[in-house]
Amino acid sequence: MNKEEKYDLVVALTEQIKEYGNFYITDTSDLTVAKINNIRRKCFENDITMQVTKNSLIKKAMEAAGGDFSPIYDVLKGSSSILFSKSATAPAKLIKQLRKTGEKPILKAAYIDSAVFIGDNQLDTLTKLKSKEQLIGEIVGLLQSPAKNVLSALQSGGTTIAGLVKTLQERG
């Protein structure tokens, strides 16, 4: 790979880091070409973009993208693949599914909306993450619940209060 090709790859990786906002770095070393192709096919089926590249180029792309990726730099050793997805949990679920048939890919690190997860032991946590939309929906639901209860109480008790006021006026 010449300098121009490396530069183009770094630019492409930088754009993907900025566009997706979520990426996973995995270890796919020692896998056969057939297994790598199977992983690529499953990534394609799940709207995940997979790129196998040198660690130094991944690091340069992260530096060019801005943000604090420094905790991830330590895991950039050996063979690395980077997985990009709009969904924060899709790559984790795919890795977990692939691990049923073999030891790899191994999760080195994940970057999800500015949160960094280091190590393969984070895989279960990553599969259970909720999307922004799900969290916003839950918060809106929680905020609406008390208001609905107050409105419901006022509506159901409205006739009782009006009746009570009317009765008190008649007596007075």
**62 and 97 housed in the same domain:** yes
Condensed to tens digits (0 to 9), the pLDDT of residues 129-151 reads 877 777 788 888 777 777 676 66
Provide the pLDDT for residue 87.
87
Provide the pLDDT for residue 26.
93
**123 and 135 housed in the same domain:** no
Provide the pLDDT for residue 158.
55
What number is the average pLDDT over the span 90-98? 91
Q: How confident is the prediction for the chain on average, in pLDDT?
A: 84
Report how many domains make up the chain: 2
- CB neighbours of residue 42 within 10 Å: 15
Provide the pLDDT for residue 92.
92
Provide the pLDDT for residue 83.
94
Which residues span the domain enclosing 141?
A: 130-172
Provide the pLDDT for residue 149.
66
Provide the pLDDT for residue 60.
93
CATH of the domain at 14: 3.30.70.1730
**103 and 149 housed in the same domain:** no
Return the closest-CA partner of residue 97 out of 144, 165, 45, 54: 45
Return the closest-CA partner of residue 122 out of 110, 135, 130, 134: 110
Confidence tier at 94 by pLDDT (50, 70, 90): very high
**125 and 135 housed in the same domain:** no
